[in-house]
Amino acid sequence: MNWYEKLNQYFPIEEMKSKEHMETLLEEKGDIYHKDEGRNHVLMYVEDDRFVFVDYLFVSGNSRGQGLGRKLLDKLKQKGKPILLEVEPATEQDVDTEKRLRFYKREGFRHASSISYRRRSLATNEINEMEILFWANDHAEDEQIYECMKKTYEQIHIYKDETLYGKKYQLVEEVLKLNDCEEKRDILKVV
């Protein structure tokens, strides 16, 4: 099974980029878009001068629980930059979602709780909500994470979208929102 088949088998259709999209990114954005592949893993990530974004992390079922995921994240942590990723919210229908959240929490990732992420899937036309998690070896604000996510969305997620998919994805302003923490506190006081 090739790297794309592994990812496609594991990740939901609404989260997957097409193989052509990912190959185009590797070819045309190879200075920032990377693939780390082994027999039991596939790691697709973005690295620029300010952050690392994990696009996909797959560890085969027979290798889970053996520390491979931790080793892959440790390699990224050694770069000394904030690491960002999108993860499905935990649901009762998919027990793996809770396992993934626990794994990332053990690895020191935190929720960017003031950032909301809602994107319409071109594959299913359904709204796909994701949570933004991040790891930073120093203090990182949600505003910084938000700016990095915007850059990733514009440079990676919607790269050549009309050419590759025949239609455009939503604009970043429709997908990512930075909710004002002061506004949240005021609403909670009223309730």
* Alpha carbon 100 to its chain's center: 12
Q: Is the pLDDT of residue 125 over 70?
A: yes
Residue 178, both tokens? 């930075």
CA separation for the pair 87, 137 (Å, rounded):
20
Residue 176's nearest CA partner among 149, 156, 157 is: 149
Identify the pLDDT of residue 25: 98
CA separation for the pair 46, 174 (Å, rounded):
22
Print the domain residue range for 108.
3-190
Q: Is the pLDDT of residue 189 over 70?
A: no
- Look at residue 21 and give its three-state secondary structure: helix
Residue 163 sits in a domain whose CATH number is 3.40.630.30
Choice between 62 and 54, residue whose per-residue pLDDT is larger: 54
Question: φ, ψ for residue 81 (rounded to 5)?
Answer: -115, 155
Identify the pLDDT of residue 185: 39
Q: pLDDT band at 175, cuts 50/70/90?
A: very high
Residue 6, both tokens? 């592994």
Identify the pLDDT of residue 181: 52
Task: Please give the tally of structural domains in the chain.
Answer: 1
Identify the pLDDT of residue 187: 37
Mean pLDDT, to the nearest integer, of 41-47? Answer: 98
Q: Is the pLDDT of residue 55 over 80?
A: yes
CA separation for the pair 172, 151 (Å, rounded):
9
Q: What is the DSSP letter of 105?
A: H
Residue 133's nearest CA partner among 158, 105, 154, 157 is: 105
Q: Which residue do the tokens 């259709």 mark?
A: 13
Q: What is the DSSP letter of 90?
A: P
* pTM given for the model: 0.90
Give the pLDDT confidence of 67-106 residue by residue, as tens digits.
Answer: 899 999 999 999 999 999 999 888 777 777 788 899 999 9
